[in-house]
Structure 1
Amino acid sequence: MTTAIGSNPYGAAGAAYGSQTASTAATTTKTTDKTGDNTGSATSSTDTVDLSDAAKAYLSNQTTNAASLAATARKWFDAQYKTTGRSSPMLDGSVALDMTSISRETLSAIAANTDNLFSQDEVLAAGATLQKRFDDALAPHVVVARHTGDYAGLYKAAADYLDKAGADERATPLWISTRKAVDEGLALARQSPMKAPQTTNGNDPIAALLQKTSQVANASNATSDAAIVTDARARLDALANKARDAGTELVFDSTRKTGQFVDFTSFSNQSLALVTLNQDGKFSAEEARAAKAELSQRHRASLMTVFSGSSGSTDAGSQSLALISHYNKMSAAEKAASGYNSDLQNRLVQNYRLASMFNGGSSGSSGSKATSLVSYLK
């Protein structure tokens, strides 16, 4: 997607966005008819209003053009590189320079590569900063839209935001294409209330924002329990957002006839276990129950695999060894959620020893009189 216009401007220059450019002198025309009344158009005169130095300076700032902004930005980048020792504002695909002090209009000039003064990385950094500011400004409206179904209001907020741009930004292809996409999205949203419009315009910043907040990467680098809980919470929130955007709701009871039933495909067993245990209270009771049901189903399937694959034998000793190995591969949370504890482990070990004794030191005999392990797992 083409990078969307950013958020509220930073700095003094950006504070004037949305203002109309004025001349340094205001003129008024009076017309006087032959009788002296101010109703005719036979003669005219012009009065000049003198402005203070402060007013002239303010209006001069209003008329700063993109070329001047770009030149100033070029000097800023060069100074930053000298100070930081870096040669690019990007690092591993992310903005590595603090660009919060740069105004919206200046960022727009950089993103448009005005006068070809900027490198590809500098253009990308400006675009990414504009995008983040746009996302931050629209985030509250996204929340409202998903809870009320008023996606037209969300697009209207985006249009209002874009319309605060200055004349230079409005002249860029980026602003023009983005504003057009927002208009198209607004029209579609009004035609299909209570759900996000299905737009096909790749320049639609709202469609991109909705998609971004309804997806979580399939692979997670989270390893600690706290990080996995945070990841699981984000995944559930993303699924709920996606359901709302489709005009429905995320549900956790498979018997419900309406709503989108939760899909735990992207959740690991450890993630499901932590949701089930819900030790930090970050999940609702229905979320925890649904996670437990999914984990139990996976657990039953894995046990069937263990029983069928324990050296082709059905005796208790072989099964006990396979089960001990199976459980010991689990995380602490998975063990707790699955009901595996030291008592069950001790019984499995005892069962294996009994099977070995009755089988003359071998647990491989199918004639073992040891108690079946199935009874321990009910």
Structure 2
Amino acid sequence: MTSINGTNPYAQYGSAYARAAATQPSLADTLNAAEAGNSNPLDPNAATNLTLSDAAKAKLASDAKTPDFTAVTNNARAVLDKLYAAAKVTSPLGADGKTTIDLSSLDRRSLFAIATNSGGKFTPDEQSVASGELTNRFNAALAPAAAATSMTRNYTVVYKAALEYLDGASSEEKATAAWSAQRAAVQKGYDAAKQKPDTAPSVSGDPVASYLAKYPDGAPVGTTKTFGTVATDARAALDAQAKLAAENKTELVYDPSRKFGQLVDFSSFDNRSLSAITLNQDQKFSNQEIYAAKKELDSRNRANILSSLKQSQQSGDPTQLSLGILQSYSAMSDEERQASGWSPSFRDNVLQSYKSTSNILSIMNGA
């Protein structure tokens, strides 16, 4: 959650940076020269050897695919215009003050471009709605951790989630004074929580404290679609895959051991969609589809648990496993919990395990 205004204090440095960059060889030029065994492009007579690790090469490849902020801004403008056309509106806010378009398809960097009026391309209403969407995403990122904190009284959980969200910001967002101030406040809160996990930190300008004041048990799960609509959309997505398979002269299959056919791809299905298929409340899905969706849902749940176990092992803190499971539980909708078999009694057992482990650690530490 970043406090945003309509000006960019770094805009004045843009042209100066561009002039300086124009006189320098690109990193790609240097790498290409090194790859070909040539010397530094600035000095043909120099003998320069450049060796990069696999991680560095992967980072460079990723950066090369990242569009510049101008391209992001232009694309955000185009997306907004398409959303208006589809909704047959001309503004993101109706006469009643409610939003007329859904910005969920825009990534965080695009929303930041709109909220900060990058390039002067966006109206005050568009900036306001984009800022609201950014706030919603901050709330969504903190909600599972806040719910776990409310159960365990361990404030490190929610502060860690806030740090991870802030650190996921783009370089443009991180360059703002607002981001720096919030990051510093959350870090202070996290450090204080590590000293006294069961005491809410008191830090000036802390966005986590503001969030908890409004949502002490975590913000409610945001579900803009009814479960019936989710099931209908999932049916349509599966039908689209089946149609594509038929066009390719094959069939859509649900068993990876099959020797022929196009295997169903659930990568674009969120867990609520998988739950709609698994529960099959409207009788829209076949037994094969239900089995495959349940298997994928279980696989994702196992991956979350294994991730929490790995974090517990790496940190040397056995409570991290229980905390991770509690956060996963809190992030689920009621339908997801039903489809996964994660009942309130399961949650209570995990919570009891956390408390027991915490008590043992306190005794061992002489607390």
Structure whose alpha-carbon radius of gyration is higher: 1
Greater helix percent: which structure?
2
Which of the five TM-score ranges fits, normalised by the shorter chain? 0.3 to 0.5
Greater strand percent: which structure?
1
User: TM-score, normalised to structure 1's length?
Assistant: 0.41
User: TM-score, normalised to structure 2's length?
Assistant: 0.42
